[in-house]
Structure 1
Amino acid sequence: MSVIQIEDVSRWYGNVVAVNGITMTVGPGVTGLLGPNGAGKSTLIHMMGGFLEPSSGGLTLDGKPIWRNPSVYRHVGLVPERESAYDFLTGEQFIVSMAKLHGLADPGAAARRAIGRVEMEYAAGRPVGTYSKGMKQRIKMASALVHDPAVLLLDEPFNGMDPRQRLQLMDLIRQMAAEGRTILFSSHILEEVERLATHIEVIVSGRHAASGDFREIRRLMTDRPHLFALRSSDDRALAAAIIADGSARAVRLTDQGLEVETTDFARFTRLIPQLAKKAEIRLWELSPSDESLESVFSYLVGK
C-alpha cells in the first residue's frame, strides 16, 4: 500500500506559476485529479513521478524523496498526456523495450502480460504509428504496467478513446485499485471523475481548491444554497409549511413538484420529514438536484 505525500509544492517557469503551494496525500484506491485545462494537473503529475523538480516544497513516496531518486521508478508507472512511443516500433517492441529499461528478468513475458491487460494483443505486431489515438493510449497504459508498479499516475488517460475503450479502461483501473494499487488520474471531464474516482482533488489556477468526496465538498459550501427537488401528496401545503418554518431561502412550485433552496443542508434534511408528518403530507421524492460533480466544479472555478 503506497502513499504519495505532497507538502507545500510549487513549480514556476520564469514568472509563470504552474503549481502554487499544494499539499495533499494520495493513497491506495482511485483518486481523481480534477481541473480545467491549464490548471497545473500535468505539472503536478510529472513532479509526483519524479520527472520534474519542484521549485519549492517536497514530494515523498512511502516517506522517501521522489526527486533525484531513481529507485522510485521501480514503483511508479506513468501515462503522460503527450505521445511517448516511437511510431516505427511495433506495440510489442515498444513494451519489450520498456521492460528491458526496468531490468526485468523476462522482458518478453512481462510485455505480453501488460499487453494482455489492456487487450491489445490483436495489434501488438503493428507499428505504433498505425494506431488510433485510443489505441496509443492503451499501449501507453501497457508501458506503465509492464513492471507491475504499486503506483499509477495517469494524465488524461481517456483522451481519444471511443466509448468501448473508455469502459474497458475504467474496468481495468477499478481492478487494479482492488488489487491495492495507488492510482491517480487527471481529467477535465467531469463524468469520468464522477464515475471512477473514490476520492477527488480539485486544482484551479495552480492552487488546491478542494479535497474529498464530491458530495462532501458540495456540502461544505455553506455560502451557496443547496437545491432540492421534492414531490409530495400536497406540494402547495408542503411549500407553505417550509416557508412558515423559515428553513429555506427560496421555494418554487413547478410542474414536477417543488424546488427548494437552503443554506443549511443538514438541518433541512432532518426537518423536512418532520414538517411533512406534522402537516399529514406524504413525501414521494426528496433529492438534491445539484449534487453532481459539475455543480461542484463550476462553483470552485467561479470562486
Structure 2
Amino acid sequence: MSVGGRRLRAVALAAVGLVAVLAVGACSADGGNSASDSGAGPAMGSAADEAGAAKVAGGADQDKAAAGGSGAADLRVDQRSIIYTGTMQVRVDDVERAAREAIARVRAAGGFVGGDQRSSESADARAELTLRVPADRFTAVIDGLAGLGKQERREIRTEDVTEETVDLDARIATQRARVDSARKLLARATSINDLVTLENEVGRREADLASLEAKKRRLADLTALSTITVTFVGPHAVTVEKDDELGFLVGLRGGWSAFLSSLTVALTVLGAVLPFALVIGVPVGVVIWLARRRRPRRAPPAGPAPMVPGPAGPVGGPAPSAPPPVPAARSGP
C-alpha cells in the first residue's frame, strides 16, 4: 500500500473516532438533563401545591376574620331575615271544634291569635283565624292545621328582608352617632340662638332615630312571628275556587245571592215601618173616612130644560102643516 493510501485510511479512522466520541458525549448529556428534570419536577410541583394551599388557607383565614368582624353581615341561610306568610283552607266536620283545636295548638307553640271571625250558620258554617306563630314553628303548625280535616287550598309566601335589616342597622348606628354629636354641641352652647338651634336639631335627629328604630322593631316582629290565615269550612259550605270565578253558574249564584240580600233588606225595612203604619196610619185613615161620611151631599145645579126635537121642515120654507083630523067612525043603523 502506498504512502498516500495509508494517510487517507488514518484520516478516515480519526474522523470515525471523533464522531463516536461526540455521539457518546451527547448521549451522556441528554441523560444528565433528563435525570435533573425528573428530580426537579416533583420538587417544583410540591412547592406549587404548598403555595396554593397557603393561598387557600390565607383566603379562608381572611373570610373567617371578615365574618368575625363587627361590621360584616352573616348571610348564611339560617341567619337570614325571612318573613313567612301562609294561607290555607280546610274542610272539617265541626267548625267550632276545629277552631278551638287550632287555637290550642298555636298557643302551645308559643303564638297567639291575631283575628277570629266565625259564622255559625248550619248551611254555611265557617271560621277564619289569623294566627301568629314563631318562625321556627311555622312549618310544624301549618302541617298540624292541615291535619284537622281535608285541606283544600294552601299558599305559602316568603319575603327576604335581610338586606333591609342590615341597612336599617347601619342607618340606626349612624343616626345614633349624629344624635350624640348634636347633644355634645348642645352641652357646649353659650348663646341663646345656638341653644335654640341645637335643641331643634337634636329633636329632629332623635325623631329620625325613633322612626328607624320603629321600622326595625316592625321587621323584627314580622321575622320572629309568622302569620297564618286559616279558614275552616263546614262539610256543606259552598266555596268559590279560582277556576270557577267566571261562568253561568257563578253568575247565577251571585245573582241569587244578590236577590236574597235585596229581599232581606226590603223585609227588614217593611218590618221597621209596619209598627208606625199600624199606630199612626190606622187612626188617621179612620178620621179621614168619618170626615167624608159627615160631609153633606150637594144637589146638582139646575140647568135649562132639555129641548125635544120635532120634525123639521125644509130650510127657508113654510112650517109644516098639521096632519088632517081622522074622522070618527059611524055606528051602524
TM-score (norm 2): 0.18
TM-score (norm 1): 0.20
